[in-house]
Amino acid sequence: MTNQSTKTVLMVIAAWVALIALPSLGHADKITDFIVFASAYGLLAMGLNLLIGYTGLISFGHAMFFASGAYGFGALMQSGAFAVPVAFLLSIGITSAIALLVGAICVRLSEIYFAFLTLAFQMFFHSILLSWVEVTGGDNGLLGGIPTPVFFGVDLSNHTHLYVFCVTVTLISILIMHRIVNSPFGYTLRMIRDNERRAIYLGVNVFAIKLTCFVLSAVFSSVGGIIMALFVSGAYPDFAFWTTSGEAIFMVMLGGVTHFLGPLLGAVILTGLNDVVITYTDHYGLFLGSIILIFALVLRKGVLDFVQPHRKRSKTKTSAEGASHAET
């Protein structure tokens, strides 16, 4: 393991310790609910950014995989035939199969054609959720809650256990994504994003790489859906609606599309804004729409896109001053 990898693992462990300790500061239920909710949507946004930020493919239909994770996990647990870890892995496998089928069709296209085809598949998936009442519950979603038998001493019906489990799964997923984007595979994605024709000329199998990224992106988004299903003890058609995909895209834009943790920060900010706006006004759509317009038309950058250049300028200035002092 390299020094950079060791540093990343230590940072993840430190984040885990801090998040586990955070509820002890007070308002435990409110804090844990906020973090779990933000974690679920943060994984959706970060999974989506593997396509947007690293491959240059904008998907309008990623909520489909968020919902497939939630519905797959919920249905498997309601069957009573699977333990939580087994249902978790099987639901990821179901999402992978769906993503492989959808991706094999979509990634052959580019730009707006790719985006709208993913949206079409999402709406088709949403219509299945509404019409297949015997399995999905239709408009009502999965009724009866999601049973979570104890496994390895972990009882997810206990709020504290659920919080620790969701935080742990989220941080492990983030660590895996970090390893992916900093691997040769991740740099190949960047090369395809920057110059696809050159990548083809160099012998890269662009179709296979894009398809692999599409499936990985769907898998991490489905993990967010599983966390959400555990949080609300159910799965609902809104998880697969186009507005959920729109929120995920806005989270990516809000935090910063060019930064690894940008989408997670965007999810935290948007979740916080939702809580504040709903608390103080009934005009949720008006305020959120205004914020989206400001970022899309005026700022055109995410939060970390403003922070990072400032840090780079500060480092450059410090280095130049240091060199000047050394010369004198």
Tens digit of each residue's pLDDT (9 = 90 or more) over 250-262: 999 888 888 999 9
Q: Which of 90-94, 192-196, 310-314, 324-328 has the lowest mean pLDDT?
A: 324-328
CA distance linking residue 216 with residue 228, whole number of Å: 19
Pick from 40, 66, 62: nearest CA to 51 = 62
pLDDT at 124 over 50: yes
Q: Does the residue 69 lie in any domain?
A: yes
Question: What mean pLDDT comes out for the span 170-175?
Answer: 96
Q: What is the DSSP letter of 260?
A: T
Q: Look at residue 299 and give its three-state secondary structure.
A: helix
Number of domains in the chain: 1
Question: What mean pLDDT comes out for the span 72-94?
Answer: 94
pLDDT at 325 over 70: no
CA distance linking residue 55 with residue 209, whole number of Å: 9
Question: What mean pLDDT comes out for the span 207-211?
Answer: 96
Predicted local distance difference test score (pLDDT) of residue 321? 43
Q: Does the residue 41 lie in any domain?
A: yes
Question: What mean pLDDT comes out for the span 311-317?
Answer: 45
Pick from 53, 48, 56: nearest CA to 256 = 53
- Phi then psi for residue 154, to 5 deg, are -100, 125
The angle subtended at Cα 249 by Cα 114 and Cα 193, nearest 5°, is: 50
31: β partners: none
25 or 65, higher pLDDT: 65
Question: What mean pLDDT comes out for the span 306-317?
Answer: 52
Predicted local distance difference test score (pLDDT) of residue 308? 63
Mean pLDDT, the chain, integer: 88
Q: Does the residue 97 lie in any domain?
A: yes
The boundaries of the domain holding residue 63 are: 31-239
Predicted local distance difference test score (pLDDT) of residue 309? 56
Predicted local distance difference test score (pLDDT) of residue 285? 73
- Phi then psi for residue 109, to 5 deg, are -105, 175
Q: Does the residue 151 lie in any domain?
A: yes
DSSP for 52-63? Answer: HHHH----S-TH
- Phi then psi for residue 258, to 5 deg, are -95, 5
Predicted local distance difference test score (pLDDT) of residue 288? 75
Max intra-chain CA distance, the chain = 80
Which range of 19-33, 164-178, 265-279 scores highest in mean pLDDT? It is: 164-178
Q: Does the residue 15 lie in any domain?
A: no
Q: 147: which 2 tokens?
A: 């049973």
Pick from 46, 62, 50: nearest CA to 189 = 50
Instruction: Kindly tell me the sign of the dihedral angle through the C-alpha atoms of 163, 169, 175, 180.
Output: negative
CB 322 within 8 A of CB 280: no
Q: 153: which 2 tokens?
A: 């001493």
Give, in order, the Cα–Cα distances in Å from 173 to each of 12, 21, 39, 215: 11, 20, 10, 14
pLDDT at 146 over 60: yes
pLDDT at 57 over 90: yes
User: How does residue 293 score in pLDDT terms, banded at 50, 70 and 90?
Assistant: confident
Predicted local distance difference test score (pLDDT) of residue 294? 77
Question: What mean pLDDT comes out for the span 312-318?
Answer: 44
Q: Does the residue 303 lie in any domain?
A: no
Pick from 166, 215, 250: nearest CA to 65 = 215
Q: Look at residue 154 and give its three-state secondary structure.
A: strand
CB 254 within 8 A of CB 80: no
Q: Does the residue 281 lie in any domain?
A: no
CB 98 within 8 A of CB 124: no
Which pairs with CB-CB distance under 8 Å and at least 24 residues apart come from 104-110? Answer: 104/211, 106/214, 107/57, 107/207, 107/210, 107/211, 107/214, 108/207, 110/57, 110/196
Q: What is the DSSP letter of 152?
A: T
Q: Does the residue 229 lie in any domain?
A: yes
278 or 18, higher pLDDT: 18
User: How does residue 1 score in pLDDT terms, banded at 50, 70 and 90?
Assistant: low
Question: What mean pLDDT comes out for the span 156-165?
Answer: 93
pLDDT > 90 fraction of the chain, expressed in percent and rounded:
67
pLDDT at 180 over 90: yes
Question: What mean pLDDT comes out for the span 176-204?
Answer: 94
pLDDT at 158 over 60: yes
Spatial neighbors of 326 by CB under 8 A, at least 6 apart, are: none
pLDDT at 4 over 90: no
Q: Residue 259 carries which side chain, given as an amino acid letter?
A: H
Pick from 125, 122, 147: nearest CA to 136 = 125
